[in-house]
Structure 1
Amino acid sequence: MFLLDPALWSGKAGIGGWTAPTGGTAPVVEPATGEVLEVIGVATAEDVSAAAERAARAQLAWARTPYTERAAVLRCAGDLFTLHAEEIQRWLVREAGSIPGKAAFETSIAAQECYEAAALVSRPLGEVLPSGEPRLSLARRVPAGVVGVIAPFNVPLVLGIRSVAPALALGNAVLLKPDLRTAVSGGVAISRVFEEAGLPEDVLQLLPGGADTGSALVTAPQVRVISFTGSTAAGRKVGAAAAEHLKRAHLELGGNSALIVLPDADLERAASTAAWGSFFHQGQVCMSTGRHLVHASIADEYVERLAEKAEHLPVGNPAKEEVALGPVIDAGQRDKIHGLVGASIDAGARLVAGGTYEDLFYRPTVLTAVTDASPAYTEEVFGPVAPVRAFSDLDEAVALATASPYGLSLGILTSDVMRGLDLAERIPTGLVHINDQTVNDEAVAPFGGTAASGTGARFGGTANIEAFTETRWITARSAQPQYPF
């Protein structure tokens, strides 16, 4: 039987097993063709409440499970992502519009996230503290309880598993709400892998749904930690609701990341690097290069080389053709992209390449002569658009790079690495890549942005321990003390 056999999950959600939720069903649509691939169950607030109660009960036993057994489940899950990689990748290509290389990247990272999470469980649980009293004093890490994970459509498998895997490994139960547009590759795949890996029933539950489902997840009293990845606008609402209910919210939000190209950069490689940063997965990545800041002495040649790359990149159905870009996720996203490009041209920007589309296939686009009045430069486009702006010296480059409200990723291209590192020190961002573009991710690396890009590094390595556990102070005396009462 296939891992993702629709006979198991079609029209269902993962609440106490594969059951029909109360919200009916939603179509699983292939953006490249408009074909309905399957249907998925839609969870309501009522379903979230029932799932949260089940998860809270299951979490207590899961937290008491020996760490060796929890680690074994996570390692098995990693093996299963590798074993069923081709099947999962087919769904990522058809459901999310991923090119095969991007789909392979997702399954590889998913496996690695599970292996890294398995290693978390054998880390020291805390530390012995000094005390002014005759007692043993400890700080111990304990599971947070039930963790709510809300993941987006763009990189659905990675952006779900990077929270699900460490949260489970550390003894929590998880309620996972994937985006309805990618509920199979970002939800069913994860649930089925852990089901086959031997995770006890109810420890992980799948709740596909929209904003109402997410709101119910945030406010459910059993949920103690929220891990949200999505837009800054939605993240503000999640953060506010979590704060009202006195919950921790880890928010990985939008970006408008800058790539700074210094005059000593290798322009041939820079054009390739920059094209990947802006056009990878149709620009639908929070780390996408949204602003190309290029020294004035090389700006014209840079634009020419980047536009040539854009003109020659094939765009089409990644399930049928060998292409560099697939479709954007839906018509609403396409129209937003095109609106920002059009408004920028109206404001004085010059279109050098692209700016056109057919159905959901948007051509990679290069804009120059952009200013602060160009929406495609100042806003997060979330599409394959590369706005290029020239600067005259490093002070101006710093001023332009820091003018954005976002602070996610930064790339600097230069032959002088130390100069690049020094420049990076002047620009606050969560991630910095010298001689690389802005889209990078590894399971072992702390990931997160600042300011409008989120609440700081919280995924990867030891950051996961901070994210998904609580610190408990414990003392023990050999005998009860005598108090003056």
Structure 2
Amino acid sequence: MSLLEESLWSSKININGWVQGTAGTRDVMEPATGNVLGSLGVASVQDVLRAATAAARAQVAWAAKKPEERAAVLRRAGDLWEEHTQEIQSWLIREAGSIPAKAGLETHTAAQECWEAAALPSHPHGEVLTSNEDRWSFARRRPAGVVSVIAPFNFPLILSIRSVAPALALGNAVLLKPDPRTAVCGGVALMRIFEEAGLPAGVLSLLPGGADVGAAVVEAPEVRVVSFTGSTAAGRKVGEAAARHLKRAHLELGGNSALIVLPGADLAKAASAGAFGSFMHQGQICMSTGRHFVHESLHDAYVDALSGKARNIPVGDPNTGQVALGPVIDEHQLGNIDHIVHASVMAGGRLAAGGTFDGLFYAPTVLADLALDNPAFKEEIFGPVAPVAAFADIDELIEKVNANEYGLSVGILGEVGMAMRIADRVHSGKIHINEQTVSDEANAPFGGVGASGTGSRFGGAAANIEAFTETQWLTMRPEIADYPF
């Protein structure tokens, strides 16, 4: 039987095992063709409450397991991602519209996330403190308890596993709410991998659903930590709800990342980097290059080179052809992309390439001659669109980069000394010198500032332990202390 054998999960959710969701079912769609790939169970608010209660019970026994036992489950999960790579990649291609290379990146990263997480149970979980009293004093990290993970559609596997794996490794139970549009590759696949890896029932629950389910996994009394990846607008609502219920929320939100092309930069390499940053996975990445700032000495040539790449990038069904771009996720997303492109032209921008679509396939698009208040520069497009503007000097550049509310990623191409000075002045959670804006590794901190979220809350031992545990103060005396009462 295959890992994702449809009879196991069809029309079901997972609460202590595969069961019918009480909110019915939802078709699993292939955006490239409009074909139905299967049927997914949909959770209700009552399902969430049942799952949270079960998770709280299961978490106690899971946290009590020896560190090596929890580590073994995570290591086995990492191995299983590799063993079932082709099957999972097929779902990423068909359900999420991923090209094969992007699907391969997701399965590779999923394995890496599990192997990195496998080290967390044996990582130091506290420190010895000094004390003015006659006692030992410790600060120790304890599992938070039940963690809710809410993940989006664009990198459905990576953006789920990067929270699920460390949260489990550190002794928590997890309620996973994937985006219902990609709930097989971003939900069922994780559930099945951890089942096969030996994770006890109830420690991980799968709860696909809409906004009501999203609210429920935040508000359920047993939940202590919420890990959310998604739009800034939705993240504000999650943060507000978590604050009302006195819960921690780790928010990785939108972006409008800047790529800076310095004077003297290699034009051909810069255009290649810019095309990758804006067009990879149809621009549906929070780190996508949303603003290209090019020194005026290179601006016109850069627009021409980037437009040439845009016109020659193959677009089509990644399941049937050798293409570089697949479909955007749905009609709503397509409409939003096209609206911003046309609004930007109406506001004075120049359409240098693209601006057309066929079905859900949007052509790689280049916009030039843009003012800072142009919609293409102000808004996160989440589509294959590269807005370009010129700058004359570094002070002007810094002002333009920092004028945007987002602060997720910045790429700087060109002379390193100048790039280093710029890096010290821009507001961004991540900076890449002589690289474009899209980059992620399992052992590296990830997060943004401003409207891009609440900082680096994913990646690396320090960030993950901070995110998914609570600090407890513990003191110890050799005998009962004397008190003056």
TM-score clears 0.5: yes
1:265 match: secondary structure: coil
Alignment of 1:253-292 (within 5 A): 253-292=253-292
Tell me what 2:306 maps to: 306
Distance in 2, Cα, partners of 1:143 & 1:322: 46
Alignment of 1:307-346 (within 5 A): 307-346=307-346
Distance in 2, Cα, partners of 1:482 & 1:467: 38
- CA deviation map 1:205-241 (0-9, x unaligned): 0000111100011000000000000000000000000
1:387 match: secondary structure: strand
8 A contact 1:278–1:385 mirrored in 2: yes
Distance in 2, Cα, partners of 1:418 & 1:133: 52
One-letter identity of the residue aligned with 1:259: L
Shift of 1:421: 1.4
Alignment of 1:352-367 (within 5 A): 352-367=352-367
Distance in 2, Cα, partners of 1:221 & 1:418: 52
2:119 match: secondary structure: helix
Distance in 2, Cα, partners of 1:482 & 1:110: 54
8 A contact 1:13–1:206 mirrored in 2: yes
1:405 matched to 2:405: yes
Shift of 1:373: 3.4
Distance in 1, Cα, partners of 2:346 & 2:289: 22
- CA deviation map 1:84-114 (0-9, x unaligned): 0100000000000000000000000000000
Tell me what 2:438 maps to: 439
Alignment of 1:79-478 (within 5 A): 79-414=79-414, 416-461=415-460, 462-478=462-478
One-letter identity of the residue aligned with 1:244: R
Q: TM-score, normalised by structure 2?
A: 0.99
Aligned residues: 484
Distance in 2, Cα, partners of 1:129 & 1:139: 7
Distance in 2, Cα, partners of 1:136 & 1:373: 59
Distance in 1, Cα, partners of 2:263 & 2:125: 49
One-letter identity of the residue aligned with 1:417: V
Shift of 1:246: 0.1
8 A contact 1:258–1:290 mirrored in 2: yes
Distance in 2, Cα, partners of 1:436 & 1:265: 12
Distance in 2, Cα, partners of 1:243 & 1:229: 17
8 A contact 2:259–2:410 mirrored in 1: yes
One-letter identity of the residue aligned with 1:443: A
Distance in 2, Cα, partners of 1:417 & 1:155: 31
8 A contact 1:27–1:38 mirrored in 2: yes
2:269 match: secondary structure: helix
Comparing 347-356 with 416-425, greater Cα deviation is found at 416-425
The unaligned stretches of length 5 or more in structure 2 are none
8 A contact 1:70–1:118 mirrored in 2: yes
2:157 match: secondary structure: helix
1:276 match: secondary structure: helix
8 A contact 1:344–1:373 mirrored in 2: no
Distance in 1, Cα, partners of 2:365 & 2:294: 17
Distance in 2, Cα, partners of 1:51 & 1:145: 13
Shift of 1:430: 0.2
Shift of 1:315: 0.3
8 A contact 1:329–1:360 mirrored in 2: yes
8 A contact 1:341–1:376 mirrored in 2: yes
2:249 match: secondary structure: strand
Shift of 1:418: 2.4
Distance in 2, Cα, partners of 1:467 & 1:27: 34
Distance in 2, Cα, partners of 1:371 & 1:324: 30
Distance in 1, Cα, partners of 2:2 & 2:484: 70
8 A contact 2:73–2:197 mirrored in 1: yes
- CA deviation map 1:407-452 (0-9, x unaligned): 00000001x2122111111001000000000000000000000010
Shift of 1:479: 0.8
Shift of 1:484: 1.1
Tell me what 1:70 maps to: 70
Distance in 2, Cα, partners of 1:275 & 1:348: 23
8 A contact 1:82–1:108 mirrored in 2: yes
One-letter identity of the residue aligned with 2:447: G
1:8 matched to 2:5: no
Distance in 2, Cα, partners of 1:103 & 1:264: 35
8 A contact 2:372–2:400 mirrored in 1: no
Distance in 2, Cα, partners of 1:363 & 1:442: 29
Distance in 2, Cα, partners of 1:421 & 1:323: 36
2:118 match: secondary structure: helix
One-letter identity of the residue aligned with 1:156: P
2:241 match: secondary structure: helix
One-letter identity of the residue aligned with 1:239: G
Distance in 2, Cα, partners of 1:131 & 1:374: 58
Between the aligned residues of both structures, percent identity stands at: 65
- CA deviation map 1:368-392 (0-9, x unaligned): 0111332111100000000000000
Tell me what 1:41 maps to: 41
1:318 match: secondary structure: coil
One-letter identity of the residue aligned with 2:126: G
8 A contact 2:146–2:224 mirrored in 1: yes
1:149 match: secondary structure: strand
Shift of 1:121: 1.1
2:382 match: secondary structure: coil
One-letter identity of the residue aligned with 1:158: I
Distance in 2, Cα, partners of 1:372 & 1:294: 14
Distance in 1, Cα, partners of 2:159 & 2:173: 17
Distance in 2, Cα, partners of 1:469 & 1:457: 15
Shift of 1:264: 1.4
Distance in 2, Cα, partners of 1:376 & 1:44: 37
1:156 match: secondary structure: coil
8 A contact 1:376–1:387 mirrored in 2: yes
